[in-house]
Amino acid sequence: MSFRDQAAIAGVGYTPFSRNSGVSTLTLAIDAITNALDDAGLTVDDVDALATHRVGDSTPPWVVAPALGIPEITWYLDQFGGGSVSHAVIGQAAMAVASGAARTVVCYRAINARSEFRMGGTGRDPAPIFDAQYQAPYGHLAPPQQFAIFTRAHMIKYGTTHEQLGQVAVGQRANAVKNPRALKRDPITLDDYLASRWIAEPLRLLDCCLETDGACAIVITSAGRARDLPVRPVLISGAVWGGGDSFFSGQGGDFTVSEAARIAPRLYAMAGAGPEDIDVAELYDCFTYSVIVQLEDYGFCPKGEGGPYAASGATRLDGALPVNTHGGFLSEGYVHGINHVAEAVSQLRGTAGDRQVAGAEVALSTAQPGYVLAGTSALILKADR
Amino acid sequence: MSLPDRPRPDLDRDSTPWWEAVRRHELLLQRCDGCGTLRFPPRAVCGRCRSREAGWVPALGTGRVASWTVSHQVFMRAFADEVPYAVLHVRLDDGDGVFMYGNLAGTNPAEIEPDMPVEAVFADVDHELALVQWRPR
Ligand SMILES: [Zn+2]
């Protein structure tokens, strides 16, 4: 595909993650963007494009741009959608840079998901999600409820167990222990997991990601310009998004296959890489189950064996395929997808500290694999040599 | 029960006839005039043959439990008195790929099993709205 390796990630910025940021999503966005530009050795004056996504809860580019004092925006993206589009935002920014429509894009996501706007709109009126009319009246609307149905379907078809789900949570917490940014840094055991309370069976509290206040920003520019900047660029080698079936209404039929299975071949083809080339994988983990289904659908193990694969230790930091090296959304925090990209960049720069995967050259980072709203998105990133 | 406090469905121009039928305690599906495919939720066009011609037919009203969840967390205040409650994802006996959601009726969540046969029953919310529920058969 035409824009392989043409755009690069030149900077990454965070705000602290918390349960109550005490500030607006606009302030979070500004702080994360400023930190990302500092990291890249750039200033606000270098920015000519902004990109974000939202579900009615964040700050759009045309508010952020004047607030930051960006002189002129030549391209922007204000994508409606949740985690499933999180990586499409990065991909579209890479396309904008590769096409010349933009020179330097900052992608950001600012979210007060704990203190202000909880996912699914369960604290207020139902979210304006298509086909919610066939579920919300039954008390079925929040993401844990949705994913409980998908998880159960996988358990029925493939025999995936509570213990296998638990190993995802336990393994990721072990990574978070090594991540100073993580919200949850106390180790947990499988017994802790099994003792945690039901949220929506078969999902327990420790199957669920952390509702988080925080923001993250990613600076994207051309590979050529990135090489003149102080930090080692990370190339965007593969960036795809898409899908087909909608799972929300149940028309998809088989909940045990995600949209990741549909986009994975295009992703690997664009990047010129395969599952065997991936050194580290940051797999969207709104819930433990989404990791298991993506291990299958991105081709790391045969279909139906994601549970045993996750429980085998293969996805631990010292395993064959380290997954969610920062602790993921389950333990680091949930910024709706973008903090997976940021962690992948840290791993490829070799700056991930105690949780660094030795020699990581190629990373997969993925979005919500297409449940609820059809479609997903994913990136393959490579260290620049 | 707090049925009247529940979120009400946001009807659209495709779904209104379906909800009106549920209010009359009838469970309908669309059937494509072009290829005969049954479909739900209601849509103006067939995803298989693209025909815009379709009619309403009665569903069998029976199905099997494809998946389910039992909510313990109170996500919506209207359900505070109902936890733990089950939501079923039901594969209708009418044909492949036709599914509906609904609450469990007539038994408790511990009795649910994969592929359990169920039938649709209707719960009146008020004069304008009824909901589909599923009970073992
Ligand atoms: Zn048709």
Flag whether B91 is in a domain.
yes
At residue A223, the 3 state secondary structure works out as helix
pLDDT of residue A291 exceeding 60, the answer is yes
Model pLDDT, residue A81: 87
Q: Which domain holds residue A277?
A: 7-118+209-383
Model pLDDT, residue A246: 64
Point out the domain boundary residue: B42, B59, B76: B59
Please give the model's pTM, rounded to 2 decimal places: 0.91
Flag whether B35 is in a domain.
yes
Question: Which CATH number covers residue B87?
Answer: 2.40.50
pLDDT of residue A42 exceeding 60, the answer is yes
Flag whether A126 is in a domain.
no
The residues, ordered by sequence, that sit 6+ positions from A265 with a Cβ below 8 Å of its Cβ are none
Residues of chain A with C-beta less than 8 angstroms from the C-beta of B6: 136-139
Among candidate residues A384, A371, A385, A383, the one with its CA nearest the CA of residue A81: A371
Query: By CA distance, what is B39's nearest residue in A?
Result: A251
Residues 74 through 113 of chain B touching chain A, CB cutoff 8 Å: 75-76, 78-79, 82, 84-85, 87, 89, 96-97, 99-103, 109
- Quickly state the pLDDT bin for A347 (edges 50, 70, 90): very high
Flag whether A135 is in a domain.
no
Flag whether B90 is in a domain.
yes
pLDDT of residue A125 exceeding 50, the answer is no
Looking at CA atoms only, how far is residue B9 from chain A in angstroms? 4
pLDDT of residue A117 exceeding 80, the answer is no
CB contact under 8 A, A122 and B9: no
CB A221 within 8 Å of CB A7: yes
Q: Which residues of A are catalytic?
A: 284, 334
Q: Do B51 and B66 belong together in one domain?
A: no
3-state helix, strand, coil in chain A (%, to 5): 40, 20, 45
Predicted complex ipTM: 0.92
Among candidate residues A36, A28, A70, the one with its CA nearest the CA of residue A336: A28
Q: Do B85 and B115 belong together in one domain?
A: yes
Flag whether A324 is in a domain.
yes
Edge-to-edge strands, sheet with A104-112: A75-80, A49-54, A104-112, A213-222, A7-14, A234-242, A376-383, A362-366, A280-282
B62 in contact with chain A, both atoms CB, cutoff 8 A: no
Flag whether B1 is in a domain.
no
B70 in contact with chain A, both atoms CB, cutoff 8 A: yes
Please state, in angstroms and rounded to a whole number, the distance separating the CA atoms of residues B79 and A134: 17
Helix (H) / strand (E) element for A50: namely strand A49-54
Q: Do B66 and B121 belong together in one domain?
A: yes
The CA B41 to ligand 1 mean position distance, Å, reads: 14
Flag whether A184 is in a domain.
no
CB A102 within 8 Å of CB A76: no
Flag whether B117 is in a domain.
yes
- Quickly state the pLDDT bin for A126 (edges 50, 70, 90): very low
Model pLDDT, residue A66: 83
Query: By CA distance, what is B9's nearest residue in A?
Result: A133
pLDDT of residue A122 exceeding 80, the answer is no
The values of phi and psi at residue A195, to 5°, are -90, -10
Model pLDDT, residue A243: 76
Higher pLDDT, A179 or A58: A179
Flag whether A160 is in a domain.
no
Q: Do B53 and B14 belong together in one domain?
A: yes
- Quickly state the pLDDT bin for A120 (edges 50, 70, 90): low
Model pLDDT, residue A57: 74
Q: Do B54 and B92 belong together in one domain?
A: no
Flag whether A323 is in a domain.
yes
Model pLDDT, residue A87: 95
B115-129: per-residue pLDDT in tens?
999 999 999 999 999
Q: Mean pLDDT across the stretch A298-327?
A: 98
Q: Do B17 and B76 belong together in one domain?
A: no
Q: Do B53 and B64 belong together in one domain?
A: no
State which residues of chain B have pLDDT below 50.
1
Q: Which domain holds residue B15?
A: 9-59
Query: Considering only A65-79, A144-158, A254-268, A332-346, which range has the smallest mean pLDDT?
Result: A65-79
Flag whether A223 is in a domain.
yes
Number of domains composing chain B: 2
Q: Do B79 and B129 belong together in one domain?
A: yes
Looking at CA atoms only, how far is residue B66 from chain A in angstroms? 7
Flag whether A204 is in a domain.
no
Flag whether B46 is in a domain.
yes
Q: Do B128 and B70 belong together in one domain?
A: yes
CB contact under 8 A, A148 and B40: no
Q: Do B68 and B134 belong together in one domain?
A: yes
Q: Are strands A362-366 and A75-80 parallel, antiparallel or unpaired?
A: unpaired
Number of domains composing chain A: 1
pLDDT of residue A212 exceeding 80, the answer is yes
Model pLDDT, residue A1: 54
Flag whether B92 is in a domain.
yes
Please state, in angstroms and rounded to a whole number, the distance separating the CA atoms of residues B24 and B129: 9
Question: Which CATH number covers residue A50?
Answer: 3.40.47.10
- Quickly state the pLDDT bin for A124 (edges 50, 70, 90): very low
B61-81: per-residue pLDDT in tens?
999 999 999 999 999 889 999
A161-201: per-residue pLDDT in tens?
999 999 999 999 999 999 999 999 999 999 999 999 999 99
Flag whether B2 is in a domain.
no
Point out the domain boundary residue: B59, B77, B98: B59
Model pLDDT, residue A279: 98
